[in-house]
Chain A
Amino acid sequence: MQQYRIAILGSGNIGTDLLVKAMRSPHLTCVAFIGRGYTSPGMNKARALGITCSDQSIDYIPEHADEIDLVFDATSAKDHALHAPILKALGKQVIDLTPAKVGPMCVPAVNLDSSLGSSNLNMVTCGGQASIPVAFAIGQTHPEVDYLEVVSSIASKSAGPATRINLDEYIETTEKGLQAFSGAKRTKAILNLNPAVPCIDMQTTIFANVKNPDIEALKRVLDPIVEKIKTYVPGYKILVGPILDGDRIVVMVKVRGRGDYLPEYAGNLDIINCAAIAMAEQFAMNGGN
Chain B
Amino acid sequence: MKQAAIQLLQDDCSRVIQEHIADLDLLRDATLLVTGGSGFMGGWIAEMVCHLNDVHRKNIRLKVLARNRARFQERLPHIAAKPYVEFIQGDLRDLVDLPRDVNYIVHAAGDPDNRTHSINPVGTMINIADGTRALVQAAERASDLRMMLNVSSGNIYGWQPAELTRIPESYMGAPACGAAESTYAEAKRYAETLMTAARCQSRLPILIVRPFAFVGAYQLIDAPWAVNTFINDALQKRPIRVLGNGQTVRSLLYGADLALWLLVMLVRGKTGQIYNLGSDAGVTVETVARLVAAQSQPRLEVLLNAAPSRNIPTSILVPDTSAATRDFGLKAITDLDTAIRHTLKWHQTK
Chain A positions near chain B (C-beta within 8 angstroms): 13, 41, 44-45, 48, 155-157, 160-161, 195, 197-199, 259, 261-266
Contacts and interface: CB of A to CB of B under 8 A. Distances in A.
B143 A198 contact: yes
Nearest to B100: A259
Interface in B131-155: 134, 137-138, 140-146
A197 B134 contact: no
A262 B140 CA distance: 9
Nearest to A200: B143
Given A156-B203, A157-B202, A157-B203, A199 B96 contact: no
Contacts of B203: 156-157, 195
Interface of B: 94, 96-97, 100, 134, 137-138, 140-146, 201-203, 205
Given A156-B203, A157-B202, A44 B142 contact: no
B145 A197 contact: yes
B239 to A, nearest CB: 52
Contact of A161 (B100, B201, B205): B201
Most A-side CB within 10 Å, residue of B100, B201, B202: B202
B338 to A, nearest CB: 39
A160 B144 CA distance: 17
6 tightest A-B CB contacts, nearest first: A198-B144, A263-B143, A45-B96, A265-B143, A199-B143, A263-B141
Contacts of B201: 161
B133 to A, nearest CB: 9
A41 B134 contact: yes
A41 B202 contact: no
A264 B143 CA distance: 7
Given A41-B96, A156-B203, A198-B144, 13 more contacts: A41-B138, A48-B96, A155-B143, A157-B202, A157-B203, A197-B145, A197-B146, A197-B205, A259-B100, A263-B141, A263-B143, A265-B143, A266-B141
B145 to A, nearest CB: 7
A48 to B, nearest CB: 7
29 contacts: A41-B96, A41-B134, A41-B137, A41-B138, A44-B94, A44-B96, A45-B96, A156-B203, A157-B140, A157-B203, A160-B202, A161-B201, A195-B203, A197-B144, A197-B145, A197-B146, A197-B205, A198-B143, A198-B144, A199-B143, A199-B144, A261-B97, A262-B141, A263-B100, A263-B141, A263-B143, A264-B143, A265-B143, A266-B141
Contacts of A155: 143
A112 B178 CA distance: 61
Contact of A263 (B137, B142, B202, B205): B142
A158 to B, nearest CB: 9
B143 A45 contact: no
Contacts of B100: 259, 263
A266 B143 CA distance: 9
Contacts of A161: 201
Contacts of A195: 203
Contact of B97 (A45, A160, A198, A266): A45
A243 to B, nearest CB: 30
Most B-side CB within 10 Å, residue of A160, A198, A264: A198
A14 to B, nearest CB: 12
A90 B98 CA distance: 39
Contacts of B143: 155, 157, 198-199, 263-265
Contacts of A157: 140, 143, 202-203
Nearest to A155: B143
A156 B145 CA distance: 13
A245 B137 CA distance: 43
A161 B138 CA distance: 16
A161 B203 CA distance: 12
Contacts of A197: 144-146, 205
Most A-side CB within 10 Å, residue of B96, B100, B137, B144: B96
Nearest to B134: A41
A264 B144 CA distance: 10
A253 to B, nearest CB: 19
A157 B204 CA distance: 8
A48 B134 CA distance: 15
Nearest to A264: B143
B347 to A, nearest CB: 41
Nearest to B103: A198
Contacts of A160: 202
A266 B146 CA distance: 17
A161 B100 CA distance: 23
